[in-house]
Structures are given as C-alpha cells and as structure tokens.
Structure 1
Amino acid sequence: MKKFRGVFLKNDKEIGLMREANRIVSRILDELGENVRPGVSTMYFENICRARCDEYGVRPNFLGYQGFPFALCCSVNEEIVHGFPSEERILKEGDIVSFDMGVEYKGFHGDSARTFGVGQVSKEAQKLMDVTRESLYIGIEQARPGNNLYDISAAIQSYVEGFGLGIVRRFVGHGIGSHLHEKPEIPNFVPRGLSGVPLKAGMVLAIEPMVTLGAYEVEILEDNWTAVTKDRNLSAHFEHTVAVTHDGPRILSLSD
C-alpha cells in the first residue's frame, strides 16, 4: 500500500478485498430495503444486520466505533445520519428512512448508504431521494485520475443546488481502506479558499451526499449521535464506496 499526500493508494488485491466487503454491505442493504414497510420497528433492521454479519463471518464496523452502540445507522425523516435503531420507532406510511451500514472483511472495510420511502411518499420526498441518489452518481463520474477531489464536490453541489435543495456541510465523505475513515475528506460542496488533492489510481473513496428539503444547518440530539436538520425538514443520504482506477471510477458497493 503506497501513500500520496497522506492518502493510502490500494493495489488490486486490496481493492478486491474491499469489493468483497462492499458486496456484503450491498446485499444487506438490499434485504433491508425489501423489508421497508409501514408498521416495522427500526430495530428490526438492526437485527437483520447483525444476523447477516454473523452469517457472512464479518464484523459490523460501526458497532463500537467511537462508542456507537449499533451495527446500523437508521435515520428517519429529519434525521440526517447516525440515527439509533429502536423498538419504539415504528415506520409510518410516507416516512423516508436512511440506512448507513458497513463491515470489515479480512482487514478491509466496506461502507454504503441508501434512503427508502415507506409506502407512498410525498412528491417532495420522492424528489429529495431522487436528486440525492442522482447527485451521488454524478459525483462518482468525476472520480477519475487527473481530476481534482473537488471536481466531485462541485458536480454534486451544482446538481443539488440546481433543484433548490440544501447540502449538509457538517458531514462529508471520506477515504476508506484498512481503516473505516481515512484521508481525504470529501465534501459535497466546494470549500472556499481550499484546494483539493489530485485524484490518483488506487484511491478508494466513500462518496456520500446528504441533502435536505430546507436549510443545511444541523443539530445533534441528546443521545450525542443522531444528527437532525435544524429546521426539521426531510433529509436523504446515499453513499457508495468507489475505487479510482485508470479505467475510470469503479463502484465497489454494488450487489452481484
């Protein structure tokens, strides 16, 4: 494993291990999405995650990370990220729910997130989810050698703000590899006065736009983890782990 400006560059073998970690994450997220419906508690999804990690023989990498008490971040409606699963939180028709989940496989990490509608959702909620998902893929297209990190940021920001939606500033994407969070940070907006690093083949990036129907300001709830929109408007979150290769971006967090 080489380093470039503090960023670990992965070789083909390491990217292969990360592909398997992310394939497992994607399969678990597929199953979570299939079970989203009104009347289900959010703890139900935590139980699925733990059971599948046991079956696959992998470690849920969020569990215990900096004290986080669950394998799954489960965030509903105005919750942006780091929401706690709960037996008391029951999904209702029209909710939207974001699942953020990762595993460690043979020393390497996978990380991905998706937002799902619960039953029939409003046009505004559907637009929010669609734009957030589309912005992720537009950002991924910029993850090519020779581009700058902030080309990813600019592509996401331009697309999202073109629909009049807000981009969360407090939480950003990140490098990933033998550690869950590595350099570089990947904002979904272009920071003023800073220059991003050049993209090199071998970088692996967790790109994750978090988008709101209203303003981008954030509050943290009393559990010291759950982040919510300050104006309590809806928020959506999509994430893929992406390898920068000579042939262009390779999304690792897809199912077969």
Structure 2
Amino acid sequence: MIELKTPAEIQRMHVAGRFVAEVLSEVGRIADVGVNLLDLEHHVRDMIKQRGAESCYWDYSPSFGRGPFRNVICLSVNDAVLHGLPHDYTLRDGDVLSADIAVGIDGWVADSARTIVVGTPAEEDLRIIRATEEALEAAIAVARPGNRVGDLSAAIWAVARDYGYPVNTEFGGHGIGRTMHESPHVSNMGRPGRGLTLRPGLTLALEPWLARTTDRIVYDPDGWTIRSADGSRTAHSEHTVAITEDGPLVLTRREEEVPPPVRA
C-alpha cells in the first residue's frame, strides 16, 4: 500500500530530514585520515541520542543481511557501496567513504547518503561521485506530479550511461514515510512513462549508486557489506524527496551542499 502524506506530515518528515542532513554534514567534517570507522559510528550514536531521534538501522533484519544490524549508520569504503558494517578500520589517504543513514523523529523517517574522498582525491573517484550526484539531481528534477516512477529510473540511467558506468538493479530507491522502506521500489534503470504515476504527497528515497566497471555485487562475510564484484571503486548518493503540487521538495538537503546542474 502506498500512503500519500499531507503537507503537515511532509513537514514532520522534513524535521527528520534536516537532522539526517546535519549528521551527514558532520560525518563529512570529521572523516579524515587516521579516523576509525567505529569512532564515526559512536559519534553518530551520540548525535542521535542527544536529538532524541531513533535509528532505523538498529535491529533492522531484512531478508538479506546476517542477523539484525547493530549499528546506526552504514559506512562503506572504496569497493564497498551499500550496507557497510562499521568495523575496526582506520581511514587512509585517498579512501572513498560512503555514509548512509536513516532516522525517525516523532514517528516520521528520512534517509540520505553521500560519498566523499578522504584526504587526497583521485580524479576517477571524484568522477564517479559526481555521476551519482548528477543522477540524483536528474531524478529529483522529474519528481513532479503526473510523471511516473519510470521517469525517475530513466533519468538516473541516462546519467550513468553518459558517464559510461554500468547499473545494478538489485537495490535502488524506495518509498519512505512512517517506516524506512515503503512502496514503491524505484529502480536505477528504467523506461520513461512506465510505472506508478507520481502524485502530491508521495515521498521517496532516491538513491543512485554505481561501481566503476561492473554491475555485479558480492557480499562480505559479515552478511551486510555489499561490494563491487570486481573490486572497482563505488559511490552512492541519496535524498528523501516529497512530491508536491509545486514540484519536488528535497527533505534531506545539507546546508553546505551545492547541487550539480541538471543535464539538458
């Protein structure tokens, strides 16, 4: 079942979204060479506790994954791209770090992810990060009443194609609201004009993610961390977006974020 939210409910989601944005801004500020992933995890735990928010990840037990997730943020490094389990790893110069977090505040949820380079960036890493950011903005641009879910998928896919990156369809975007994962599924590959019609009140987490040279994935022994099958580096960008009469409203935009221009 797809639940359309009222303007008041979207504003309550926006409260959660602003906090999610604050957390990801803080992770980007403190993630540096020599910082351990577990230190980042515990710092975010403290932020969630102080805000009185609730982690959507703690005890999360989907059909994939091995046992309940017992962390509050996903931290994925280099060839890891999704569901990275924070562990005893110290960040090195040039590492690519993807951070993904979802929290609830007063019963309403927001979800967002960003990818950064720690220390000295390589151009090829900046390029794939830029591709996911541009793909996300392309999808946001068409997140308007009357368009369809396939238009979102096609917009993401078009940017990935332009950059020459393959696209995996096993994991993608999703509805969001009272819980982290709601209907509909939003694939990162699709055809325009297909699927559910977008209506005001629909709230979605759009999340293009890419690996440089493969669309295949493998799982770590931890049962959670997803990596590119060939070890190529990856990137992941995500925002929670509300469809409104006036167009898309991004609920998780970071204060310092400068969105890339949408390709014509």
| 1:32 and 2:27 correspond | yes
Provide the rounded CA distance (Å) in 2 between the counterparts of 1:170 and 1:78: 17
- Matching residue's letter, 1:21: A
Name the TM-score, length of structure 1 as normaliser: 0.94
- Matching residue's letter, 1:238: S
What's 1:100 paired with? 100
| Unaligned 5+ runs, structure 1 | 1-5
Provide the rounded CA distance (Å) in 1 between the counterparts of 2:30 and 2:117: 11
- Map 1:55-94 onto structure 2 (within 5 A): 55-66=50-61, 67-86=68-87, 88-94=88-94
Aligned-partner SS, 1:70: coil
Name the TM-score, length of structure 2 as normaliser: 0.92
The structural deviation recorded for 1:99 is 0.3
Deviations 1:187-207 (A, max 9, x none): 110179x94101001000000
- Matching residue's letter, 2:80: E
Provide the rounded CA distance (Å) in 2 between the counterparts of 1:245 and 1:191: 23
- Matching residue's letter, 1:65: Y
What's 1:230 paired with? 229
The question of whether the paired residues in 2 share the 8 Å contact of 1:72 and 1:100 is answered with: yes
| 1:213 and 2:212 correspond | yes
Find runs of 4+ consecutive structure 1 residues off by over 4 angstroms.
none
Aligned-partner SS, 2:235: strand
- Map 1:91-240 onto structure 2 (within 5 A): 91-190=91-190, 195-240=194-239
Identity across matched positions, percent: 35
The question of whether the paired residues in 1 share the 8 Å contact of 2:156 and 2:188 is answered with: yes
What's 1:9 paired with? 4
The question of whether the paired residues in 1 share the 8 Å contact of 2:37 and 2:91 is answered with: yes
| 1:54 and 2:42 correspond | no
Provide the rounded CA distance (Å) in 2 between the counterparts of 1:237 and 1:72: 14
Aligned-partner SS, 2:81: strand
Provide the rounded CA distance (Å) in 1 between the counterparts of 2:97 and 2:248: 28
The structural deviation recorded for 1:65 is 1.0
How many residue pairs get aligned? The number is 249
Provide the rounded CA distance (Å) in 2 between the counterparts of 1:227 and 1:191: 26
The question of whether the paired residues in 1 share the 8 Å contact of 2:139 and 2:155 is answered with: yes
- Matching residue's letter, 1:43: L
What's 1:3 paired with? none
Provide the rounded CA distance (Å) in 2 between the counterparts of 1:208 and 1:131: 12
The structural deviation recorded for 1:255 is 3.8
| 1:19 and 2:14 correspond | yes
- Matching residue's letter, 1:85: P
The question of whether the paired residues in 2 share the 8 Å contact of 1:100 and 1:113 is answered with: yes
- Matching residue's letter, 1:24: F
Deviations 1:114-150 (A, max 9, x none): 0010111211101011111111011110100000111
Aligned-partner SS, 2:241: strand
Provide the rounded CA distance (Å) in 2 between the counterparts of 1:124 and 1:169: 23
Provide the rounded CA distance (Å) in 2 between the counterparts of 1:222 and 1:191: 35
The question of whether the paired residues in 2 share the 8 Å contact of 1:39 and 1:92 is answered with: yes
The question of whether the paired residues in 1 share the 8 Å contact of 2:174 and 2:204 is answered with: yes
Deviations 1:136-169 (A, max 9, x none): 0111101000001110110110111111112222
- Matching residue's letter, 1:177: G
The structural deviation recorded for 1:93 is 0.6
- Map 1:233-248 onto structure 2 (within 5 A): 233-248=232-247
- Matching residue's letter, 2:99: F
Aligned-partner SS, 2:84: coil
The structural deviation recorded for 1:76 is 0.3
Deviations 1:166-220 (A, max 9, x none): 222211110000111000000110179x941010010000000011111110111
| 1:249 and 2:248 correspond | yes
Provide the rounded CA distance (Å) in 2 between the counterparts of 1:252 and 1:166: 28
